[in-house]
Every structure is written in C-alpha cells, then in structure tokens.
Amino acid sequence: MSLISSSDIAVEEPASYDWKQIVDDLNGLLRLKTTPIGMKLYATVAEMEAVPRIRRPQSIHTTDQIVAQAARLGWTVGITNDDLVGAQCGAVIGLHPRDEAWLSGRGMAGVWFETLEDSSAHQHAMDTVPDGRFQAMAVSPLTSGRLDPPDICLIYATPGQMILFINGLQWSGYRKFDWSVVGESSCADSWGRALATGQPSLSIPCFAERRYGGVLDDELLMALPPKYLPKAIAGMTRLASNGLRYPIPQYGIQSDARAGLAVSYGERPKA
C-alpha cells in the first residue's frame, strides 16, 4: 500500500503475492545479478522488531549500507534513526524531521555544492517521506516473504535490463514516465520518491550509494510499490513473445537494418 495515494496510473493491488514466482519471473526475463528486495516503514519499533529473523545493526550505517545488506547479502535488517550515520539518511525515509538545520544544507555546502544557497536548494528539492509518521524501517529479500507486502520493492539492473523493465510497465495502459535527478543523495529519487508518491521511481545511484552501498558501476535502481511487478512481468512476457527480450542481441552497426526491422515490424498475427 502506498504511503501517499496517487492516481497517475491505475494498477490494482493483488490479494496476495507469490514472491518466489515473481522473483523467478524477473530473473528469467532479465537475468538480474542483484537480489530484488523490499522496504517497509513501521509506525513503532516494536512492529519492526516483530519481523521474523530481523537483524539489528551493531554499528552505525548509512541507509545505503542497510539496503545493500539485504540486496547483496540476503539479510533481513531493521533500523531506527539511531542506527543511521546522520540526518540525511533518516530524513529521506521519514525517520528524521526536515527541520531548519536539515533544510539549510550546511553539511553539504563546499562539499557537493558551491554555496550554502545551492546546498539548501538541493535539500528542498529532495523527495522524502513526511516525517513524524514512522519510527523504524526494514529491508528484506522479496523471496523471504517477511515484509508481506513491503511498501516498495527495489530492483537493481543494468541500463539494458532496466529499459525492458520500463517497456514492460508501458505495454498496457501506456504512460510517459518523468523522473528527476537531485544529484548526490539520489536515494531521494528512488526509495524516497516511491515511498512518498506510490509511483515507480528510477534513479542513477549516487557516489554514496556506490561507495557505501556496494552499488555496481553499471547498475540503475528502480523503486516501486509491489503492485507494479505483476504488470511489468506480464508486459515483458508479451514483449519477449515479440522477440524483444534480454539480452538484446547486437545486430551490427554496418548491417542493412531492413531485415532486422522486418522481424519486429512486419505483418503480425493479431493477438
């Protein structure tokens, strides 16, 4: 269930999810290298700690590291704001207030932005979960079923994999997706935006996500509510039946394109 309702695209919430089948389908269609995971916010710490086999950090981390522990190690991890290294991480997921000090951007001025005004403009531009509603967050591989359902799912993929995933979302009920880039703190573009709006949200992972979260150099990140996964899978399956599948075979930059295009755009039997 999205935290803030949006009518941008009408997708019904399934009564239940077969997480193993969903992940098997994603891997079969895209050959993902990184584990698809879920993220869920909790109103109380007790609710988070009740998640089966939840791990609690023994050190101070960035949210990127917590996400990576699920995506790279397969762990189920729960945190509060006290587990995070600073306000920047906590504010994106609503665990720290967007107060005057945070909005000033003082800590990033001269590091990522030339002036304090630039840094503050960046803070104001970030998509974040409204603060005051949640005290804890957990992440876990989708196949564990422990966050059933999560608020959002996180899919790491190469650009080639990601465009076919997006094409799958657009197969039926087409819409143009518009995404933004805040630069550093791009977790606001992915899980921050998806949690806040309930919409699919693509990001180019930032320096911190790659340095501290282990994000690979060729990976993009899609964050989206789980109800969009069956839609994307159904769309990608139809595209695959049209020969539009991953991996995308190289046709040759000097070859006559007519024969290749005729395979996709020639006369086709009606579905």
Ramachandran bin of 66, using left for φ above 0, alpha for ψ from -120 to 50, beta for the remaining angles: alpha
Q: Are 235 and 164 in contact (CB under 8 A)?
A: no
pLDDT, tens digit (0-9, with 9 covering 90-100), for 69-87: 999 999 999 999 999 999 9
Nearest to 98 by CA among 114, 80, 122, 116: 122
What is the pLDDT at residue 169?
A: 98
pLDDT, tens digit (0-9, with 9 covering 90-100), for 83-100: 999 999 999 999 999 999
* Token pair belonging to 81: 């704001």
Q: At what angle do helices 228-241 and 19-30 cross, to 10 degrees?
A: 40
**What's the distance, Cα to Cα, between the start and end of the chain in Å?**
33
User: CA 236 → CA 178, 232, 242, 271, distances in Å?
Assistant: 20, 6, 10, 15
Q: At what angle do helices 159-170 and 19-30 cross, to 10 degrees?
A: 120
What is the pLDDT at residue 125?
A: 98
Q: In what order do the strands lie in the sheet with 201-203?
A: 77-79, 136-141, 37-42, 152-157, 220-224, 201-203
pLDDT averaged over every residue in the chain: 94
What is the pLDDT at residue 10?
A: 72
Q: What sections of 97-255 are H helices per DSSP?
A: 100-104, 116-125, 159-170, 191-197, 207-212, 228-241
What is the pLDDT at residue 264?
A: 87
- In this prediction the pTM is 0.93
pLDDT mean for each 10 residues of the chain (271 residues): 49 93 98 98 98 98 98 98 96 97 96 98 98 97 97 98 98 96 97 98 97 97 98 98 95 92 78 54
- What number of other Cβ atoms are within 10 A of residue 184's Cβ? 17
Rg, the chain, Cα only: 20
* Token pair belonging to 131: 């603060």
